[in-house]
Amino acid sequence: MKKSILITLLALWTGYAFTQTQNSLDNLFSKNGEIYFKFKPEFQNDINRLTKIISIDNVDGDIIIANANQKEFEEFLKLGYDYTILPHPNKNFNPKMLSVDDLKNIKDWNTYPTYDAYVAMMYQFETDYPLICDVFSIGQSVQGRELLVAKISDNLSTDEDEPEFLYTSTMHGDETAGYIFMLRLIDSLLTSYGTVPRIIGLINEIEIYINPLANPDGTYWGGNNTVSGAIRRNANSVDLNRNYPDPEDGPHPDGNPWQPETIAFMNFAENHHFVISSNMHGGAEVCNYPWDTWSQYPADTDWWEYVCHEYADTAQTFSPSGYMSGFDDGITNGYAWYSIAGGRQDYMNYFHQCREFTLELTNTKLLSASQLPAYWGYNRRSLLNYMEQVLFGIRGIVTDSITGQPIKAEVFILNHEADSSWVYSEIPVGNYHRPIYAGTYDIQFSAGGYITKVIENVNVTNKNTTLLDVQLVPENFFQVNIKVFLEGPFNGTDMNTDLNSGGFIPLYQPYTGSPWNYTGTESVVSVPVNVVDWVLIELRDTTDASLATGETMIGWQAAFILNNGSVVGLDGSNMPWHVATITNNLFMVIWHRNHLGIISAFPLTKTGGVYTYDFTTGAGQAYNSGQKDIGGAWGMVAGDGNGDGIVDDFDISVTWTSDAGKSGYWRGDFNMNGQTDNIDKNGFWLPNFGQGSQVPD
């Protein structure tokens, strides 16, 4: 009985103690839904395990400062560490607030706006500067507040060969200096455009995007009229800088669903092609570059250290001694400071090939309003310096070598890239931008369906731009080197160009009508010299010429034939090209408007990317001896005035008769000298009467 009573008493005491502990925890989290605390880990490498449980905010020597919601803190307590609860940054923070009515009186930027004033201010920027500023929402927070972005550019609605740049701040709602700095940066850019050359250049050459407040629910946790109750997390008590997909720890490293704010920024990044960005924080003064999630350094470590030192060094120059001078003189590798998973910086770098770093602006998270102007002065020039870096490095446009159309291609620095550091050209312009440290590089350009191209020894110097436009050749691209003679204009050595010299050859291809019904739109401004006439060339893919029926056609195009028999493109010199996959053998058909069509008796021979065939060397070069000896060479048979594939009475009674006596470009002009007369009938039609084309139907 005594034992039973003792067990009952112990159970009651344990339950009472648990209840008291739970009540204490509930009270601890009742105001902010989160706490800050510090502790000393038993082993330094415990950080990697702890960062999966709580949000590490800072590491100072062997002391960890952390933030947690109640669920996370209860998990932390199970580890048995001694800890000290710290005052929340919002304690006793009650800054001067700017209302909507006060917007016109902004001079010193030494206040924080109410939420309504913030929204009004953003849209007022657009109203005041509609030609260079567009303000829009990329989504809403948990509590329905807008995630606003200002786009600043000289051509707001036009896709140009310009890099996209992004600044975003205060994804931790209680780190607010960057919030005001970004509002002031927008104002400074807009009001300086047209008068300050540097600002004019930035706006004219960059698509600038600025999001001042990425976590409005956290910043206005105390209500829309004050930031005095600002907290780190969003309204679901999720740390947004642990909520992104992580290159090492997967899509949900914090164990939480993606938050509305996270999804909005992920979609925003997906719909854009940001080259460089930064997200702004508080609680330290340092430029934190990738990676945060793992220990290996990024491929562009030299560049990161260069641009981060440029930021920190400039800030030091224009601030009191000691500002942004800790760590490695104001910069640090993220993992070397402390590891996190699910950070925005690593997400943007790895999944979007965007150079983003974490900018810690102030040791004090909630900077007093009176100090905002001074800290803006420390950072103003550095913010512009970093933005300007998006213009430097290697840039250009990647296009299809045949059509000139832009291509989305991978731009890969050989013997350099790692961990998704390469970049891509962007549709619809085809422009790419590759920030990189000074050096000499070999660059590989590749895209699906195109032949990979490597350009060697590309030289880059810091704070300069190396322009490199690239054309990629389609994988199934080839040219055809064809020689053929037409009987009519042949003079024993080459062909006369009377139609050309007489100005009779049309500028638009002449095969739109029956029997060809060709729909191509080939045309020229002027007919090149040495051109005899237009021809229509057709490619057929099969095993043997006898099987090369019309069903085997894989492409055709209008081209020019020169006086030496060469078939050329519209420029009058280059070989015609095609993009097609050859499954069997390639055969060539030549059509002309008043000569019998022919097809190659044998497959064209390929050397490199060129298929070659010469019809002129013998009767057997055309299938079924479909051409004739024209005196010194073999050529296509003249006299088929209506193009029906046979030289017969209709070519005289209909075609020649209607054209007789006329000068110009007529199908009854079989010798193609610009005059339709008896020579055409008696010298070409009559000797060829009864002959027919041997091209398989």
The pLDDT assigned to 674 comes to 98
Q: Which of 574, 396, 549 is nearest to 482 (CA)?
A: 574
At residue 452, does pLDDT exceed 90? yes
Handedness of CA 80, 81, 84, 87 (dihedral sign): negative
Do residues 275 and 162 make contact, with C-beta atoms less than 8 angstroms apart? no
Q: Which of 397, 387, 473, 392 is nearest to 430 (CA)?
A: 397
Q: Determine, yes or no, domain membership for 319.
A: yes
Q: Determine, yes or no, domain membership for 693.
A: no
- Averaged pLDDT for residues 488-517: 97
Identify whether 337 is preceded by a cis peptide bond (ω within 30 of 0).
Answer: no
Identify whether 320 is preceded by a cis peptide bond (ω within 30 of 0).
Answer: no
At residue 164, does pLDDT exceed 70? yes
The residue type at 16: Y
Same domain, 271 and 327: yes
**Residue 622 to residues 532, 633, 689, 697, Cα–Cα distance (Å):** 21, 13, 19, 15
Same domain, 463 and 516: no
Q: Which residue has the tokens 């502790």?
A: 39
The pLDDT assigned to 602 comes to 98
Same domain, 375 and 241: yes
Q: Any catalytic annotation for residue 270?
A: no
Domain boundary among 391, 408, 441: 391
Distance CA 597, CA 516 (A): 11
- Averaged pLDDT for residues 217-233: 97
Catalytic choice (162, 261, 310, 360): 360
Confidence label for 447 from pLDDT (cuts 50, 70 and 90): very high
**Residue 396 to residues 203, 391, 392, 393, 479, Cα–Cα distance (Å):** 19, 11, 11, 10, 27
Integer-rounded Cα radius of gyration of the chain: 37
Confidence label for 102 from pLDDT (cuts 50, 70 and 90): confident
- Averaged pLDDT for residues 108-119: 95
At residue 327, does pLDDT exceed 90? yes
Distance CA 454, CA 520 (A): 34
Distance CA 594, CA 510 (A): 11
Note down the domain range covering 421.
Answer: 393-472
Same domain, 511 and 422: no
Q: Determine, yes or no, domain membership for 695.
A: no
The tokens for 690 are 């009864």
β-strands 531-542, 585-592 pairing:
antiparallel
On average, the pLDDT of the chain sits at: 95
Q: Determine, yes or no, domain membership for 696.
A: no
Confidence label for 25 from pLDDT (cuts 50, 70 and 90): confident
Q: Exposed, middle or buried: residue 493 (CB in 10 Å: 0-12, 13-18, 19+)?
A: exposed
Identify whether 291 is preceded by a cis peptide bond (ω within 30 of 0).
Answer: yes
- Averaged pLDDT for residues 229-253: 97
The tokens for 405 are 């159309």
Q: Determine, yes or no, domain membership for 170.
A: yes
Q: What is the CATH number of the domain that holds 48?
A: 3.30.70.250
Q: Which of 224, 87, 167, 618 is nearest to 356 (CA)?
A: 167
Distance CA 389, CA 445 (A): 23
Do residues 261 and 139 make contact, with C-beta atoms less than 8 angstroms apart? yes
Q: Which residue has the tokens 């909630």?
A: 366
The pLDDT assigned to 324 comes to 97
The tokens for 39 are 């502790």
Same domain, 237 and 161: yes
At residue 266, does pLDDT exceed 90? yes
The residue type at 123: Y
The pLDDT assigned to 18 comes to 43
Inter-axis angle of helices 372-388 and 197-205, nearest 10: 60
- The pTM of the whole model exceeds 0.85: no
The pLDDT assigned to 21 comes to 59
The pLDDT assigned to 43 comes to 75
- Averaged pLDDT for residues 62-84: 95
Q: Which residue has the tokens 């590749």?
A: 446
Query: Phi and psi (nearest 5°) for 75?
Result: -65, -40
- Averaged pLDDT for residues 317-329: 96
At residue 226, does pLDDT exceed 60? yes
Q: Determine, yes or no, domain membership for 484.
A: yes
The tokens for 304 are 């990161």
Same domain, 437 and 353: no
At residue 7, does pLDDT exceed 60? no
Same domain, 385 and 256: yes
Least confident of 10-14, 108-112, 278-282, 459-463: 10-14
Same domain, 485 and 468: no
The tokens for 18 are 């648990």
User: Any alpha helices (H) in 550-669, and if so which ranges?
Assistant: 649-650, 657-659
- Averaged pLDDT for residues 135-141: 98
The residue type at 324: M
Distance CA 137, CA 148 (A): 4
Q: Determine, yes or no, domain membership for 533.
A: yes
At residue 23, does pLDDT exceed 80? no
Confidence label for 328 from pLDDT (cuts 50, 70 and 90): very high
Element (H, E) at 118: helix 115-128
The tokens for 669 are 């002009």
Distance CA 328, CA 331 (A): 5
Same domain, 589 and 608: yes
Partnered with residue 692 across adjacent β-strands are: 646
The pLDDT assigned to 108 comes to 86
Element (H, E) at 83: strand 83-86
At residue 8, does pLDDT exceed 60? no
The pLDDT assigned to 2 comes to 36
Element (H, E) at 113: strand 112-113
The residue type at 27: N
The residue type at 231: I
Same domain, 611 and 627: yes
Q: What is the CATH number of the domain that holds 423?
A: 2.60.40.1120
Domain boundary among 360, 391, 422: 391
At residue 401, does pLDDT exceed 80? yes
Same domain, 481 and 465: no
The pLDDT assigned to 22 comes to 67
Same domain, 406 and 487: no
Q: What is the CATH number of the domain that holds 213?
A: 3.40.630.10
The pLDDT assigned to 125 comes to 97
Distance CA 317, CA 378 (A): 8
Q: Determine, yes or no, domain membership for 694.
A: no
DSSP state of 365: S
| Count of the separate structural domains present in the chain | 5
At residue 417, does pLDDT exceed 90? yes
Distance CA 247, CA 334 (A): 14
β-strands 55-60, 83-86 pairing:
unpaired
- Averaged pLDDT for residues 320-333: 96
Domain boundary among 449, 472, 495: 472
